[in-house]
Amino acid sequence: MNRLTDRVAIVTGAASGIGRGTTLRLLAEGATVFAVDVNGQALEALHADDVVDAEAKARLHSQVIDISDERSVKEGVARIVESAGRLDILVNAAGILTAGHTHEFTLDAWNRIIQINLTGTFLMVRETLPLLLESAHGGRVVNFSSTSAFFAHPYMAAYSATKGAITSFTHSIALEYAGRGLRAVNIVPGGIESGITAATPGLLPADADYSLLAKLSAALKTDGGLGAPSDVAAVIATLVSDDGAFITGTEIRIDGGAHM
């Protein structure tokens, strides 16, 4: 399918995990994609990956941006605007997870996760909105919430707080700009192969009660018990295409039935 031919997209967190999978899917659907990440070397590896064919690579561009830093976002988006001249799609996949007992959580750790997950999402939306509102196709914003925003995930209070806030933020902009053609949706992943899920066991407290995590397991059985980034990317491709034309201000949960 080429549902995104002649569309220009930005994907944050594009060097790995769901962001990388989304970048590859949007390219496969015909979009021009600006892959954004704080890790420049990983972005270079994305360009070198054989999974991206020559035709798609011609539509793949990269931009190093620290989404938690206002100046970096302003300058990085300005460079993208100068290069592309327009924008149709923003996918905010970048984020971090920090876990621990809430009573032991430091203020620095709390502020860091808010700065990257929540403030980073806000900064990217704010800087790209003027272009998205000018899109001839109607601007599309996909933000990343989490099942932790709707269901209790122990030891992840700070992470959950940022994802709950992103959920509300997305609803607000969806209504505020609906009359100007913007659609905004939250992706709510759970149990997807990524750097975050791979690192989670090492982030949990040494005395963590793993029985509290039992309900996070997917009902659908897969190798390794997790979904693939491509499972999420396929949904995103639909949401930002014309096939998702009547979907906005809502959540799409992708967790293999873990929270039925």
* Mean pLDDT, residues 174-196: 93
Token code pair at residue 194: 């990524």
pTM above 0.85, yes or no: yes
pLDDT of residue 196: 72
What does the pLDDT look like over 201-258, one tens digit per residue?
A: 778 899 999 888 877 788 887 877 789 999 999 999 999 999 999 999 999 999 999 8
Confidence of residue 198 (pLDDT cuts 50, 70, 90): low
What does the pLDDT look like over 71-97, one tens digit per residue?
A: 999 999 999 999 999 999 999 999 999
With beta carbons less than 8 A apart as the criterion, state whether 166 and 210 touch.
Answer: no
- Confirm whether 159 is a catalytic residue: yes
Beta strands, E only, the chain: 8-12, 32-37, 60-64, 89-92, 140-144, 183-189, 250-254
Residues above pLDDT 90, as percent of the chain: 82
Domains for the chain: give ranges and CATH numbers.
8-254 (3.40.50.720)
Q: How far apart are the first and last CA of the chain?
A: 31
* Mean pLDDT, residues 33-53: 91
Mean pLDDT in the chain?
94
In 3D space, the residue among 169, 180, 66, 186 whose CA is nearest the CA of residue 126 turns out to be 169
Containing H/E element for 200?
Answer: helix 195-203
Residue identified by tokens 């300005």 is 78
How far is it, in rounded angstroms, from Cα 16 to Cα 81? 24
pLDDT of residue 54: 87
* Mean pLDDT, residues 131-158: 96
pLDDT over threshold 70, residue 199? no
With beta carbons less than 8 A apart as the criterion, state whether 149 and 129 touch.
Answer: no
Measured between alpha carbons, how far is residue 21 from residues 83, 85, 107, 146, 238 in Å?
Answer: 23, 25, 33, 17, 14
pLDDT of residue 193: 85
Q: How long a stretch of residues is the chain?
A: 260
* Mean pLDDT, residues 144-165: 96
* Mean pLDDT, residues 51-64: 91
How do strand 8-12 and strand 250-254 relate by DSSP bridges? unpaired
Residue identified by tokens 């949401």 is 239
Residues above pLDDT 70, as percent of the chain: 99
* Angle (CA) 167 178 75, round 5°: 70
